Amino acid sequence: MRIAVVDVGTNTTRLYVAEVERGRVARELTRMSRVTRLGAGVDTTGELAPDALAREHAVLEEYAGLIREHRPDRAVAVMTSAVRDASNGEAFATAVTDRHGLEVRVISGEEEARLTYLGATDGRAPEPGGAATLVFDIGGGSTELVLGHGAEIRFHVSTQTGVVRLADRHIRNDPPTAGEIEAVTADVRAVLEAAVPAALRATPGRALGVAGTPTSLAAIAQDLEPYDPTRVHGYRLSAERRDAIFARLLALALPERQRVRGLHPDRAIAILPGIIILTEVMGLFGLEAIEVSEHDILRGAALRYAAR
């Protein structure tokens, strides 16, 4: 079955087209990403802003044309935190179906976590001895954490902490002040500690980080220009390298951050809150390193909706 999935996130909108056979991704045909910042301001106003909606529809129009060229059996748009939280999210979802012909699914935080875990662990053997795999997805409006073994999910949570939400809530200066960094850190730490029971914080056998923050750090660490997903996928990102990159980026104003090799210019606004979330996740689980994964909710949604 050929399936197209559009992930309409708070910060990024991505397209994925793949052939799925016997419950496995047999071939990836297209993978694209555009930073739209759809959820900018939602934490403050409770609404998707007109300029954000205009950016989003322009990208979806581009994607709809590419989808038509691939002629999939099914084309699904999954919408996450920004659309879930916004008072005009339902109206936007309806407009996407009407204007772009996509089958829209506004998914819960729980479903987002499950699809992310499914995509990240697809094709991987379970950790030996029953050890847990941690999968975490740092998004624009929320961060999902899932603990599982093989296909079994043992714990999952979707937290109201994301890179766009944190930037809107705490950061007013460029570069951010020490006080702003401390405010972001305290916010993230409180949310994560409340979300993950202490009994589940033992270091997992494997930790997989997906989405823009870990993939950007893997690209920066390897000085990748242009971005190369084959070198990003599977990269081992240490806490030491993470901290060195954070210190480097924190010293730069936005125009300078936008010129850093390996960092897409559109991600330069939200990368600092993203690294703070990553640092707090790693600290919560006692991780000295994580594995960066290109397989995420897009792959999970392709597998799930092809099966249905």
pTM value is 0.90
Residue range of the domain that includes 64: 2-110
Three-state secondary structure readout of the chain: CEEEEEEECCCEEEEEEEEEECCEEEEEEEEEEEECCCCCCHHHHCCCCHHHHHHHHHHHHHHHHHHHHHCCCEEEEEECHHHHHCCCHHHHHHHHHHHHCCEEEECCHHHHHHHHHHHHHCCCCCCHHHCCEEEEEECCCCEEEEEEECCEEEEEEEECCCHHHHHHHHCCCCCCCHHHHHHHHHHHHHHHHHHCCHHHCCCCCEEEEECHHHHHHHHHHCCCCCCCHHHHCCCEEEHHHHHHHHHHHHCCCHHHHCCCCCCCHHHCCCHHHHHHHHHHHHHHCCCCEEEECCCCHHHHHHHHHHHC
* Residue 271 within any structural domain of the chain: yes
Asked if 12 and 100 sit in the same domain, the reply is yes
* Residue 65 within any structural domain of the chain: yes
* Residue 116 within any structural domain of the chain: no
Asked if 269 and 129 sit in the same domain, the reply is yes
Asked if 48 and 152 sit in the same domain, the reply is no
Total number of domains constituting the chain: 2
* Residue 128 within any structural domain of the chain: yes
The C-alpha angle with vertex 199 and arms to 193 and 203, in degrees rounded to 5, equals 85
Asked if 245 and 152 sit in the same domain, the reply is yes
* Residue 224 within any structural domain of the chain: yes
Given a contact cutoff of 8 angstroms between Cβ atoms, the answer to whether 80 and 110 are in contact is no
Asked if 78 and 208 sit in the same domain, the reply is no
* Residue 306 within any structural domain of the chain: no
Asked if 139 and 230 sit in the same domain, the reply is yes
Q: How far, in whole angstroms, is CA 270 from its chain's centroid?
A: 12
Asked if 78 and 216 sit in the same domain, the reply is no
Asked if 133 and 105 sit in the same domain, the reply is no
* Residue 300 within any structural domain of the chain: no
Last residue of a domain, one of 84, 110, 136: 110
Asked if 85 and 8 sit in the same domain, the reply is yes
Asked if 18 and 78 sit in the same domain, the reply is yes
* Residue 30 within any structural domain of the chain: yes
Per-residue pLDDT of the chain (308 residues; tens, 9 = 90+): 999 999 999 889 999 999 999 889 999 999 999 999 998 888 889 999 999 999 999 999 999 999 999 999 999 999 988 899 899 999 999 999 999 999 999 998 889 889 999 999 988 888 888 889 999 999 888 899 999 998 889 999 999 899 988 998 999 999 999 999 999 999 999 999 999 999 999 899 999 999 889 999 999 999 998 889 999 999 999 999 999 999 999 999 999 999 999 999 989 999 999 999 999 999 999 999 999 999 999 999 999 999 86
Asked if 15 and 138 sit in the same domain, the reply is no
